[in-house]
Amino acid sequence: MTCVICEHSFEAEDMASCPAYGGDICSLCCSLDGRCRDRCKPASTRIGTQLATPLRVLPPRLRRIVTSPGGRFAVLLAGIVLALGLLAKQTGLRPDSTPLIVLFLACVVGAWFLIMAQEGHRTAIRETLHQTRLLMSEVRARRRTDLALQVAREKAEGASLAKTRYISGISHEIRSPLNAIMGYIQLFQHDRRLPPERLAALGLMRESGEHITSILAGLLDISRIEAGRIELHSDTVALPAFLESVAQMIRPQAQAKGLEFIWQPGYLPAVVTCDEHRLRQILLNLLSNAVKFTQRGSVTFSARWRSQIAELVIEDTGLGVAPEDHARIFEPFERGSATGNVPGTGLGLTITKLLTEILGGELTFTSTPGEGSRFRVRLMLPDRQVQLSPGLPAMPVGYQGPSRTILVVDDNLAHRQIMRECLTGCGFRVETLENGPACLEHLDRIRPDLLLLDLSMPGMDGRELALRVRESTWSP
């Protein structure tokens, strides 16, 4: 059992229930702590109660007078006078003799101090017990509050997890048909048989699909961050080439709007350690916003690195942010009053702010309405003294060599058709199957050089299928 005072554990035989502290205490604390005034003992066993027993024959009013400080002093004074009278009779001193008067005055003063000391002690004990009761009540209230907060926290975490699962499920259901739509749009954009006047409509369809994709990605990121389920990776990144690729991704968007895009790299280490995907997401969100909300002028992207700290700055000459919007610009689904009809969801800056803080960085901004905005990201990017291997091309369109066979396993018919058209155009032989058991059954017949497996399939998912293929006797 645990003592409520010292909070140590003892055997049950060494514990007792204390009414003063409202719990079990050990024998050592019971012996050392006298503030409880032995509340656990029966009142009849106390010496004060036993001495006051004869007073019960007195009327209540007279009993209160006798037990008051003045009454006790009067009783004590009568006892002193009686004792001095007996002393004078035994010694033969006169009642008005100087020694007897001095002794009487000293006894009176001592009796008064004794009564005051007793009264002060009682007052201190009462105040101590009162404060103890208040503290114990506060402790019990805090325990109830902590328990209620724990229950509320568990409910909130459960609701947040349910929300994340719901959004993830909805996102998957939306992405499945959206992937088919976006895939065919990209195929049609590269199809030379389509008339040129239809390319503009395809471009508008692709932009609309990418807008829906960005909304889904934003909702998923916010849900993961709020649920504490976001994953960070430590990647080895060639920083100059990485930032150059980010700048090249944004440059066509700026040029399409007639804006001047300025890329100003300062000193940058060759290789750093960071989460490449999240850093690219932060920069693309800020740069896309700068291009989106700038109608004329320029967008400047500058980067410098010093003492393991990278400072990335995005400046524009766009609409700016009104002062009344500064406090809520990073809130989800909030958009500034100066954005007008510019499309957007209001999630980009929220995700950027959260990701920057998760990575241990800082995101600040300054803005002047009508003149532009300046966003600054400061992140710790430790440099690495390593040599990276050359990367592969981002968008291969074919290969040289003998004909290869690719097996696509996906339960979605539209996805299988898109993969067939994409890979057939690159010169591959493509076979498609709709589930894992069919793949295992036809492996020996198809004998593919490469398998592309859907992770989410009913019955046997992609991971299980990959393990089953590795454990089978088939080999390419």
- Over the stretch 353-391, which tens digit does the pLDDT of each residue have? 888 988 889 999 998 888 889 999 999 999 887 777 666
Report the alpha-carbon distance of residue 215 to residue 67 in Å, rounded: 81
Domains along the chain? 1-41 (no CATH), 96-230 (1.10.287.130), 232-380 (3.30.565.10), 405-471 (3.40.50.2300)
Q: Is the pLDDT of residue 128 over 70?
A: yes
Confidence at residue 105, expressed as pLDDT on a 0 to 100 scale? 83
Tell me the per-residue pLDDT of 257-301, one tens digit each, with 9 for 90 and over.
889 999 999 999 989 999 888 898 899 889 988 998 888 899 999
How does residue 90 score in pLDDT terms, banded at 50, 70 and 90?
confident
The mean pLDDT of 193-218, rounded to a whole number, is 75
The mean pLDDT of 189-213, rounded to a whole number, is 76
User: Mean pLDDT, the chain, as a whole number?
Assistant: 81
Highest mean pLDDT, choosing among 20-34, 192-206, 282-296: 282-296
Higher per-residue pLDDT: 42 or 84: 84
Confidence at residue 394, expressed as pLDDT on a 0 to 100 scale? 46
Q: Is the pLDDT of residue 201 over 50?
A: yes
The mean pLDDT of 160-171, rounded to a whole number, is 74
Higher per-residue pLDDT: 247 or 91: 247
What dihedral do alpha carbons 25, 30, 36, 37 form, nearest 10°?
Answer: 150
How does residue 44 score in pLDDT terms, banded at 50, 70 and 90?
low
Of all residues in the chain, the percent with pLDDT exceeding 90 is 17
How does residue 56 score in pLDDT terms, banded at 50, 70 and 90?
low
Q: How far is CA 252 from the centre of its chain?
A: 38
